[in-house]
Amino acid sequence: MKAALYPGTFDPVTNGHIDIAVRASRIFPKVIAVVAENPAKEPLFSADERVELAKESFKEVPQIEVIKYSGLLVNCLREYNASVLIRGLRALSDFEYEFQMAFTNRNLLASCETVFLMPSAKYTYLSSTMVKQIAQLKGDITAFVPDCVRLKIEEKYRKI
């Protein structure tokens, strides 16, 4: 069985991301967390910072590798000899966008399959955007992100 790619901006990586990656690692022998560079977004962390935070966050699961990628995901699939994309679905509101992306990717690369995984119930509401908003307003994000991420977010917002 080939590796599966788990793409995202991971800005920042949350416990929900970790939950999905761990679930995927139980299904696939190798999961590659792809830190995407999305020109349409203005991330809090640089791509290199996000890669480092993701590596630290996923370090307990040896079959999860972290890479940075800035092109089309289908090209990343080809480059890493993978055919599966992992996507997390938190709620019905995620479904329409993810559905469109799955069919678009399959149209670009016929062998591309998208596997949707649901996180633990305690993470169904969690998003990176929400974590950043809470942190920016000096709220406690301890329950939402690993400590390494919490410390970097707090450091970032002290500088802003």
Q: Does the active-site annotation cover 17?
A: yes
Asked if 150 is an active-site residue, the reply is no
| Catalytic (active site) residue 90 | yes
Cα diameter, the chain: 47
Cβ-contact 38, 69 below 8 angstroms:
no
Q: Which of 25, 57, 83, 128 is catalytic?
A: 128
Catalytic residue among 2, 55, 68, 90: 90
Answer yes or no: 111 catalytic: no
CA-closest candidate to residue 33, choices 43, 46, 20: 20
Alpha-carbon distance of 14 to 36, in angstroms, equals 15
Beta bridge mates, 5:
32, 85
Looking at 26, 41, 59, 122, which residue is catalytic?
A: 41
**Catalytic (active-site) positions:** 17, 41, 90, 128
